[in-house]
Amino acid sequence: MPVFEQSATHLNFPHDHPLYCGGDPTPQLADADPIVVVETDAPWFPALRSPGPETTVIQVGHDPLFSRYPIRGFAVDLGLAGAPRLTLAALAAAVARRVDANSVETRRKRWEAEHRKYVEACATRSAAGLGWGLGAALGAKLAAPDKTIVCCVGDGAYIFGTPTAAHWAARAHKLPVLNVIFNNRVWNAVKRSVTSHAPQGWAARAASMPLSDLEPSPDYELIARASGHWAERVEDPSVLPEMVRQALRVVREDKRPALLNVICKKP
């Protein structure tokens, strides 16, 4: 059976195990027959998807009904109270006597394929992690000092990347990297998360979504200039090619970090 870790706070299962399938069980809920929930108070988001009414839900935990919670809306067909380690061992021993080896092998192959798809998807997403770009660009420049390194980020990802520290490090260690900010004045990843979970909620209906709109926009070029970088704000698309040429000349010939704050259309 596949293992998912929904909002895990501890490492409970090795992520390189061939049956580990990530932290989001939502896409699999519609096809699940039994589901074993282990010490998880909120195993899925009902507003997005829940198991079908015919699905058997088995809750394993010290307090499988989470009776200390004033309100909890997750139905359980069978609650097994006790130490999960001992409960799971007893379940495995009981099931081992009843399963068909051929069906087990078929299921294992299916979920091992899902694990491989999950790993590949993680590798793709890791190339665009929010806040990762500024520091990665400096590392790339350290590893390949003769290469021209250009870091392209949104304004939200730029903030996540602790730019004051990144610009200081670029100056202190003589790492002439070109940073380009696509400034649309919004944390769009945050905005999409809110609207997907509560499309009719107050935040989605507000003219300005709290903690996702980034207006008034800071003058990011001034943050870079404070660390001695060459930095400019670009609002006219027609001048962008020339500003890119100037920025590349600065990092390649003057050996000085540069930044372009490119103002884009707000989504």
Range of the domain at 226: 133-263
Count up the domains in the chain and report the number: 2
Mean pLDDT across 92-113:
92
Domain endpoint, select from 95, 126, 157: 126
| Residues 167 and 186 both lie in one domain | yes
- pLDDT of 162-192, one tens digit each? 999 999 999 999 999 999 999 999 888 788 8
| Residues 103 and 144 both lie in one domain | no
- pLDDT of 26-38, one tens digit each? 889 988 989 999 9
Residue 212 has pLDDT above 90, yes or no: no
Rounded-to-integer distance, Cα 61 and Cα 43, Å:
13
CATH, residue 151 = 3.40.50.970
- pLDDT of 75-92, one tens digit each? 899 999 999 999 999 999
pTM of structure: 0.59
| Residues 55 and 145 both lie in one domain | no
| Residues 150 and 233 both lie in one domain | yes
| Residues 138 and 202 both lie in one domain | yes
| Residues 112 and 86 both lie in one domain | yes
| Residues 141 and 102 both lie in one domain | no
Domain endpoint, select from 126, 160, 183: 126
